[in-house]
Amino acid sequence: MIIGIDLGTTNSLAAYCRDGKAYMIPNRLNKNYTPSVVAVDENDQILVGETAQEYGILHPERKADVFKRFMGSERQYQLGNHTFRPEELSALVLKTIKEDAECFLGEPVTEAIISVPAYFDDKRRKATKLAGELAGLKVERIISEPTAAAITYGLYEKTENTRFLVFDLGGGTFDVSILELYGTILEVRAVAGDNYLGGENFTGVLEDAFFAQMGIEREKLDWKTRSAVYQAAEECKRKLGEVSAAVMHCRINGQELEYTFQQKEYEELCAPLFEQIRKPLQRSITDAHVRLSDIDQVVLVGGATRMPMIREFIVRLFKRFPDTSVHPEEAVAMGAAIQGAMKERDKGVKEIILTDVCAFTLGTEIAITRREGVYEPGHFCPIIDRNTVIPASRTERFYTIRDNQDMLRINIYQGESRLTANNLLLGYLEVPVPKNRAGDEAVDVTYTYDINSILEVEVKVVSTGKVKKQVIKGKYNTMTDEEIRARMEELSYLKISPRNQEENRLLLLRGETCYEESVGDRRIDIEHCMQEFEQALDSRDRERIQDTRRKLQKCLDSGRDI
């Protein structure tokens, strides 16, 4: 039996498909949702799910949650006498789900389709697969959450020739995918998202506001009190979804404290979060080469989409009501189960051909000419753009830049920044080349990316025909997700030399953002304009600076829909 599992940040769910219809699998408490929480009690017993959640209220230092956000990292959790990595904690959740499914179905469960956020990168997807294997499951496929939800929507609604946007806001991650269903083909057109944005952040807004109103420093509180405040904020958030005002009440240091939040006040506090939501929406629309008016339907997925202000935001933005016919919290697990049934050739399931895309741009490092004979390394050359349909294979040619150069190093990067310092190094290849004049020797670099998130890099020396290959599986990256985020914040745009005029610096910053949000020819145009502008700034020629500034401004102002 192949089951579908939605391994969520806040809750995890499982489903199975029989005779063409998907059904939820209840857990041992006869509930469809298993909180993604693990705890270790004073007797060294592992607790998972709702039990762990309740235990954690009293002993928060012995509880771990929201660990999905750190899948694939080196982060560790100390629970009692035990140390766990995020994938190990996820494995404990999956093992519990597996046991519950076997008890409910009355047969062994050995295989699973597990869903992940569409914007999970390769190492996170591999960590998720590892978690499944640690739980005793053969993971047949890792499927993107919006794609799984789209399968449910497309199958049960019997909708054909439809372009729809899946708005997936869960407890800890946000994904937006644009898909097109025509006949039996479900094609992913574009994906975007934020792995650090979800319902937990909307709870955190109330928590932060409460501390500010009460004049309390969070860091001075013990674990138990912090946990109690967060739970109160979560309860207040739910009430604000039903009434215009809600009281948040907590007992801190022996004092009874409360503050009344108005719905309008809460919405204003959440304004920065809605701006975060808007960016991936803009990126997906741009990458899919469509307009808002081209979207036939907006499908809501994830528990956080139940919040009225989220739905109101969607209505204002898309000028239509979203589709809520599919259960927002169960759609992903059901879609994963249907995908499993397709693999088993269940005759009751309408066969759907899925196409997926590469979520991140893959490329290599190059050096660009600053002036005659002077090269500046550290620039990113995209080879496979994000949202390219996979499997995909692309080839680019690169040349030597020095006389008698006898070696070329191909650094392999993943990311969206034009500077490699801000992207993720996946690995490298070194290939010998015959000594010759600069530019007379060349290599063809081919990136091949398949459906299982495996990247093969092939480098062929043009003059000799010698070929060197390497399969990149992420083993060269030893940084944790937190270290990568911290480094990107520290290094982001710092390589730009100081500018005297603020408007020039702001324009460069905007250019960097637009470059990361663009692909293909538009990305090339932005890069060209930015290089011209940077060179003009270096020259300190006022007229040249003004001309290139206007050109860059015009380039950046084009192509906005949201």
Residue 20 is predicted with a pLDDT of 79
Distances (CA, A) of 192 to 70, 167, 173, 244: 18, 10, 11, 33
Lowest-confidence region among 38-47, 120-129, 497-506, 534-543: 497-506
Query: Which domain-ending residue is among 357, 375, 394?
Result: 357
The predicted-structure confidence for 495-507, as pLDDT tens digits, reads as follows 222 334 657 766 8
Measured distance between the N- and C-terminal CA atoms of the chain, rounded to whole angstroms: 44
CA angle 16, 20, 25 (to 5 degrees): 20
Whether residue 394 lies inside any domain: the answer is no
Residue 158 is predicted with a pLDDT of 52
Query: Which domain-ending residue is among 271, 304, 331?
Result: 271
- Same-domain status, 162 and 218: no
Whether residue 467 lies inside any domain: the answer is no
Residue 150 is predicted with a pLDDT of 83
User: Above 90 in pLDDT, residue 34?
Assistant: yes
Residue 218 is predicted with a pLDDT of 87
Lowest-confidence region among 152-166, 171-185, 370-384, 516-530: 152-166
The predicted-structure confidence for 179-231, as pLDDT tens digits, reads as follows 888 777 788 888 888 888 999 999 999 999 999 999 998 888 988 888 889 98
Residue 111 is predicted with a pLDDT of 94
Which ranges of 185-307 would DSSP assign to H, the alpha helix?
A: 199-214, 223-240, 263-269, 271-287
- Same-domain status, 130 and 19: yes
Asked whether 77 and 83 are in contact (CB, 8 A), the reply is: yes
Q: Is 317 exposed, middle or buried (0-12, 13-18, 19+ CB in 10 A)?
A: middle
- Same-domain status, 90 and 137: yes
- Same-domain status, 41 and 93: yes
User: Above 60 in pLDDT, residue 483?
Assistant: no
User: Above 50 in pLDDT, residue 32?
Assistant: yes
Whether residue 445 lies inside any domain: the answer is no
Distance, CA of 179 to CA of 168 (rounded, Å): 13
- Same-domain status, 191 and 206: no
pLDDT band at 348 (very low <50, low <70, confident <90, very high): low
Residue 511 is predicted with a pLDDT of 85
- Same-domain status, 330 and 242: no
Residue range(s) defining the domain that contains residue 541 = 496-562
Distance, CA of 294 to CA of 290 (rounded, Å): 6
- Same-domain status, 83 and 145: yes
User: Above 50 in pLDDT, residue 478?
Assistant: no
CA angle 393, 395, 400 (to 5 degrees): 155
Residue 501 is predicted with a pLDDT of 60
- Same-domain status, 140 and 263: no
Provide mean pLDDT across the span 259-277. Answer: 94
- Residue from 558, 560, 509 nearest 530 by CA: 509
CATH number, domain of 102, equals: 3.30.420.40
Average pLDDT over all residues of the chain = 85
The predicted-structure confidence for 277-307, as pLDDT tens digits, reads as follows 999 999 999 998 888 888 988 999 988 999 9
- Same-domain status, 101 and 217: no
Whether residue 454 lies inside any domain: the answer is no
Tokens of 159: 């909708």
Whether residue 506 lies inside any domain: the answer is yes
- Residue from 498, 520, 511 nearest 556 by CA: 511
Residue 506 is predicted with a pLDDT of 66
Amino acid identity at 365 = E
Identify the residue whose tokens are 């109160």: 232
Residue 490 is predicted with a pLDDT of 39
Whether residue 464 lies inside any domain: the answer is no
Asked whether 167 and 177 are in contact (CB, 8 A), the reply is: no
User: For a pLDDT cut of 70, what percent of the chain falls above it?
Assistant: 90
Distance, CA of 451 to CA of 123 (rounded, Å): 14
pTM over 0.85: no
User: For a pLDDT cut of 90, what percent of the chain falls above it?
Assistant: 44
The predicted-structure confidence for 146-172, as pLDDT tens digits, reads as follows 888 888 876 555 556 788 899 999 888
Report how many domains make up the chain: 3
The predicted-structure confidence for 113-152, as pLDDT tens digits, reads as follows 999 988 787 778 888 988 888 888 998 788 888 888 888 8
CATH number, domain of 253, equals: 3.90.640.10
Whether residue 465 lies inside any domain: the answer is no
- Residue from 305, 271, 24, 2 nearest 146 by CA: 305
Residue 485 is predicted with a pLDDT of 45
- Same-domain status, 258 and 348: no
Tokens of 71: 């899948």
Query: Which domain-ending residue is among 271, 297, 328?
Result: 271
Query: What number of helices (H) and strands (E) belong to the chain?
Result: 14, 27
Amino acid identity at 531 = Q
> For 400-518, where are the E strands, in sequence order?
407-414, 424-432, 442-449, 455-461, 467-472
User: Above 90 in pLDDT, residue 54?
Assistant: no
- Same-domain status, 220 and 187: no
User: Above 90 in pLDDT, residue 267?
Assistant: yes
Asked whether 41 and 58 are in contact (CB, 8 A), the reply is: no
- Same-domain status, 135 and 211: no
Whether residue 381 lies inside any domain: the answer is no
The predicted-structure confidence for 67-88, as pLDDT tens digits, reads as follows 998 998 889 999 888 888 898 8
Highest mean pLDDT among 17-21, 445-449, 473-477: 445-449
